[in-house]
Amino acid sequence: MKVTVEQQPKSSVILDIVADDDEFKQAVNRAFRRVNELVNVPGFRPGKAPRQLVEQRVGRDLIVQEAHREVMDDLYRRALEQEDIVPVSDPEVDVYQDEPVGFKVTIQVYPKVDLGDYSTISVEPREVNATEEEVEDVIQNLRKQQSTWVEPDEPRAPVEGDQVILDFEVYEGDEEFHEPVVGADFVLGEGPLFKQIEEAVKFLQPGADAEFDINFDEDDEEVPEQIRGKTLHYKVKLQEVKSRELPEVDEEFLKSINEEYSTIEDLREAIRKDLLQNKVQQSRDEFLDEAFEKFAELASLEVPDGLVDRELEREYQQLGERLGQQGMSMDEYLRMTQKTESDIQSEMRPDVANRVRNSLVLEAFGEAEGVEVTDEDINAEIETMVGDNEQAEQMKELYQSDYFKNMLRSQLENRKITEHLIEHVSGGVGAITGEGKALLDEQSSSAIAESTEVEGSSDDDSSENADADSDEEQAAEAESAGDGDDEAEQKPGE
C-alpha cells in the first residue's frame, strides 16, 4: 500500500491510496472465487467453473470491482491509521486506477488547532447594573398584568391600552377564511391583533360594526406567512370597550405576587436580583462569544463542515427526544411548524457551527494552558451534587460508573477551562463588573457555604430555596407579560 497525503483548506485532506500488486492479485483471486459461487455455468457445479469461462460470462470488470469492494475498505482504514488521521466526515472516494486499485479519498479531519500567540487577546468585561427605571418597568408590567377592566362612564371609542371585545368574520373573496370569532377580548397595542384592525377599531363606538379590506404585503414580517400578499375582507363588530384600572402598589398587590412580600422594597429587591441574574447570564455569554471570536480569528480556525454536520445530527436528535418527552413526535412538530427537516437543520446550523468552533478553541486553550481535571475534582463534584440527599450513598454509587464519571469529567473540564479563559482575557477581572459582579460573588460564596455545611437542619434550607424559586418565576412572568406576546391568545387571521 502506498499512501500520499495532500492537505486541503477547511481542514480536509486528500489521501491517495494505491494497493500493492501482490496484495491486489490475491484480492482478485479471492473475488473470483466468491463470484464463481454465484455464477451459473451449464455443465459445472457452482464454484467449479474454470476462470476463463467465468470471465467470459460475467466480464473481468465485475470480478475486479468485487476485489475493489473488498480491498478498499481495508486499505482506507489502514491508511488512516498509518497517517494518524481522524476523519469527521464520510469519505468522498474517486477511483482512478483499476489494477491494482488506486483511489483518492477526500475527507475532513479533526482540525489541529494552533491558537497562535493568544496572550494579547483581551476582552472588555461587561458592566452589569440594574437601574431604577428597569425595576420600575417590571413593576408597571406586573400592574398591567393584574389590572382590572371597567366600563368607562361615557361610552366612547377605544384608545390604546383599552380592552375591546370583538366579533369578527374574515373572508378571502367570497370564501370564509376561518371560523368567525365571537366575543374575543384584546388589549389594544398589547394584544396579537393586526395593526390594521386596531386602527379600524379605534374609529368605532361600542355596538357599531365596520367592514374593510386589508392588503397584506408580500414581505410583511408581522403577519403569518400564509396571509402575506393576500387581501382579506373583515367584518368587525365592537361589542364593548373597557378601560384599564391599574392596581395600586399596596399590601394586597404585594401579597398577590408573593405571600412573603410585605413592603415594596421586598418586591424591588427580588425584581432587581432577577434582572441582574438574567443580565449577568446574557453578558457572560456575550463576553465569551467575543473571546471565542477573537481566538478563532487569531488561530484562523476553519471549522470543518463534517464536524458541524455530526453535531447538527446529534442536536437534531436531541430536539426529537425533547419533543418526545412532551408527547410530540418529530413528524407532528414538522407539520405544526410547516417546516422540513432540512429547514430546521439549516436554522440550527449557524449556532451549532459556533458552538463547535467554541469547543475547538476551548479544547486547544485548555491544552495550551495545561488545565486538567483530577479525580479529586470529580469526587468533590460528586459530593456537592449528592449533598445531604437521603439516598446519598446510592447516588454516589451511581455516579461511580465510568459513564457518569466521563460525563462529569468533560463537564468539569469545560467549566474549568472556561473560567480560566475568562480570567485570561479579562486580565483577572472576570467577565462581569458592576452590581452583577456582587451578585455573582454572593452566589458563589453562598454555594460554597452550602456545600461545606454538611450537617445542620436541612429543612430550613429547602424551604428557603423553594421561595427563591417562586420569586424568580414571578419576575419571569412579569417579564414575558411585558413582551406583550401571549401566545395562548387567539390570533386573528390564523
Partner 1 sequence: MQHQDVLRRPVITEKNTRLMEQGQYMFEVARDANKIQIKDAIERTFDVSVRKVNVINVRGKQRRRARRQGRTASTGWTPSWKKAIVSLQEGDTIDLFGDFY
Residues of this chain that interact with partner 1 (CB under 8 A) are: 42-45, 48-50, 52-53, 56
* Cα 191 to Cα 198: distance, rounded to the nearest angstrom: 10
CB of 62 to partner 1, least distance (A): 18
* Number of alpha helices (DSSP H) and beta strands (DSSP E) in the chain: 15, 11
* Residue closer to partner 1, measured from CB, 40 or 148: 40
Q: In the complex with partner 1, which residue's Cβ is closer, 47 or 180?
A: 47
Residue 305 C-beta: closest distance to partner 1, Å: 51
Burial letters for 350-377: b for 16+ Cβ neighbours within 10 Å, e otherwise? eebbbebbbbbbbebbbeeeebebeeeb
Q: Are 87 and 80 within 8 A, CB to CB?
A: yes
Of 372, 396, 375, 371, whose CA–CA distance to 384 is shortest? Answer: 396
Shortest distance, position 39 Cβ to partner 1, whole Å: 13
Least CB distance to partner 1 at residue 99 (A): 21
Nearer to partner 1, 57 or 77 (CB): 57
Which pairing describes strands 231-245 and 209-215: parallel, antiparallel, or unpaired? Answer: antiparallel
- DSSP for residue 87: B
Cβ atoms of 490 and 184 closer than 8 Å: yes
Query: Phi/psi at 237 (nearest 5 deg)?
Result: -120, 130
- Name which of 51 and 294 has its Cβ closer to partner 1: 51
CB 240 within 8 A of CB 206: yes
Least distance in angstroms from the C-beta of 33 to partner 1: 16
- The cell numbers describing 313, all together, are 445530527
Output 43 or 370, the one with its CB closest to partner 1.
Answer: 43
- For 151, residues 6+ apart whose C-beta sits below 8 A from its C-beta are 240, 241, 242, 243
C-alpha to C-alpha distances, 113 to 193, 255, 301, 361, nearest whole angstrom: 52, 56, 7, 7
Residue number with CB closer to partner 1 (53 or 210): 53
The set of cell numbers assigned to 387 is 449533598
Q: How many CB atoms lie within 10 A of CB 311?
A: 19
Output 54 or 101, the one with its CB closest to partner 1: 54
From the CB of 56, what's the least distance to partner 1, in Å?
7
In the complex, what is the shortest distance from the CB of residue 49 to partner 1, in angstroms, rounded to a whole number?
A: 8
Q: Which is nearer to partner 1, 44 or 171 (CB)?
A: 44
Q: Which is nearer to partner 1, 43 or 327 (CB)?
A: 43
Q: How far is the CB of 32 from partner 1 (least distance, A)?
A: 15
3-state secondary structure at position 215:
strand
* Beta strands 432-433 and 126-127, pairing class: parallel
- Residue 98 CB, shortest distance to partner 1, in Å, is 23
Q: What is the dihedral of CA 336, 339, 344, 346, to 10 degrees?
A: -160
- DSSP letter for each residue of 222-275: TS-GGGTT-EEEEEEEEEEEEEEEPPPSSHHHHHHH-TT--SHHHHHHHHHHHH
What's the min distance (Å) between Cβ of 55 and partner 1? 9
Nearer to partner 1, 49 or 360 (CB): 49
Question: Which residues, 6+ apart, have CB-to-CB distance to 331 below 8 Å?
Answer: none
